[in-house]
Structure 1
Amino acid sequence: MVGSELARSSLKPAGFTLLELLIVLVIAATLVALVPPAINRVLPGVKLKGASQEMASAIRFLRGWSVSQGEQGVFLLDLEHKHYTITPREKVYEIPQGAELKLVAASDEGDGEQQGGIRFFPDGSSSGGRITLSDGGRSHRIDVDWLTGRVSLVH
């Protein structure tokens, strides 16, 4: 009796059926079709958030540099070409395509409507300003307090 049960169990085919394999392939194909559009919707927001964090970090660096070096430093934003620079560095920081920029700052910093800036003084204070980066639905704001020079990022 025991031998006949053992013989029957060894005759069962091992592996997956064709139906099981087809179901797995359908699920995998569905996931492959759904993931890229979801990534494309999320990616611009991630780029915008990263750009606003990088900009706030550069402005904070500039404030610290001005205090430690005892010199004035200038953050200069080019609204037309969508990039910015800071005084002690030669690097030009690019802002992602599709981002909208707004700058509210003292009128004596910058060059007309398309450029503006924020100046930091050796005592830590600044000319103050507000920079807004948006892409339609999402918006990130960088506030620079004129009295203390404190830089805050609001999502």
Structure 2
Amino acid sequence: MSSSSDSRSARTENEGFSLLEMLVVMLIISLAIGLLSFQRSRKNQPVSDTARTIVLMLNEARIDAVRRKAEIDVEVDLQTRTVWKTGQPSRHLQIPDSMAVEVRTAKEFEKGDGRHIISFLPDGTSSGGRIRLHSGTNTASIDTLWLTGLSSYDETH
């Protein structure tokens, strides 16, 4: 009789999962999801980093124009895929070959050889413009407002 009660109690102890086992499985699943989302966000990083650097360069040019009371230009060369502030060609940004680049500026600020200029004036205004970076499914649109001269970017995935 004792053998049948031992087998019955052993069977009821092994049915189902313990709370600890469930927590371990949930932890493993959450780690896997976290790693996958981290890898996905890293794929978007080059577009974000490039856009952020261009915005910093544009806003720095605006500040310099107001501080120096002089016109400061930021030039985008589509042939060499570079962006730089005039007077500082040694400090330029190289846009990766993996990104498509589009630039829109006023006609008088478009040069015939694939160069575009966004000009910042001493009163804080600018000529305005838009730079669009595209790589895979990631797009960053950098806008410089003509009235305020402020630059910002927006990403879409």
TM over 0.5, shorter chain: yes
Q: Is the 8 A contact 1:98 1:135 kept in 2?
A: yes
Query: Over residues 43-85 of structure 1, what are the superposed CA-to-partner deviations in whole Å (9 max), with x where a residue is unaligned?
Result: 5521111011000000000000000000000010011221111
Aligned residues: 121
Structure 2: where are the runs of 5+ without partners? 1-31
Please give the secondary structure, in 1, of the residue aligned with 2:109. Answer: coil
Q: Counterpart of 1:78?
A: 77
Runs of 4 or more off by more than 6 Å in structure 1?
none
Please give the secondary structure, in 2, of the residue aligned with 1:65. Answer: helix
TM-score of the pair, normalised by structure 2:
0.69
Q: Counterpart of 1:61?
A: 60
CA positional deviation for 1:126: 0.5
1:95-106 alignment to 2 at 5 Å?
95-106=95-106
User: Aligned Cα RMSD in Å?
Assistant: 2.2
Q: Is the 8 A contact 1:84 1:93 kept in 2?
A: yes
Letter in 1 for 2:100: E
Q: Counterpart of 1:122?
A: 122
CA positional deviation for 1:108: 1.7
TM-score of the pair, normalised by structure 1:
0.70
Q: Is the 8 A contact 1:76 1:110 kept in 2?
A: no
CA positional deviation for 1:146: 0.7
Q: Which one is further off, 54-63 or 110-119?
A: 110-119
Q: Counterpart of 2:16?
A: none
Q: Counterpart of 1:150?
A: 150
C-alpha distance in structure 2 between counterparts of 1:80 and 1:130, whole Å: 17
Q: Counterpart of 2:50?
A: 51
Query: Over residues 81-103 of structure 1, what are the superposed CA-to-partner deviations in whole Å (9 max), with x where a residue is unaligned?
Result: 21111024232211122101111
C-alpha distance in structure 1 between counterparts of 2:139 and 2:44, whole Å: 9
CA positional deviation for 1:109: 1.8
C-alpha distance in structure 1 between counterparts of 2:47 and 2:122, whole Å: 31
Identity percentage of aligned residues: 25
CA positional deviation for 1:119: 0.4
C-alpha distance in structure 2 between counterparts of 1:64 and 1:152, whole Å: 14
C-alpha distance in structure 2 between counterparts of 1:97 and 1:117, whole Å: 21
Structure 1: where are the runs of 5+ without partners? 1-30
C-alpha distance in structure 1 between counterparts of 2:127 and 2:136, whole Å: 28
Please give the secondary structure, in 2, of the residue aligned with 1:133. Answer: strand
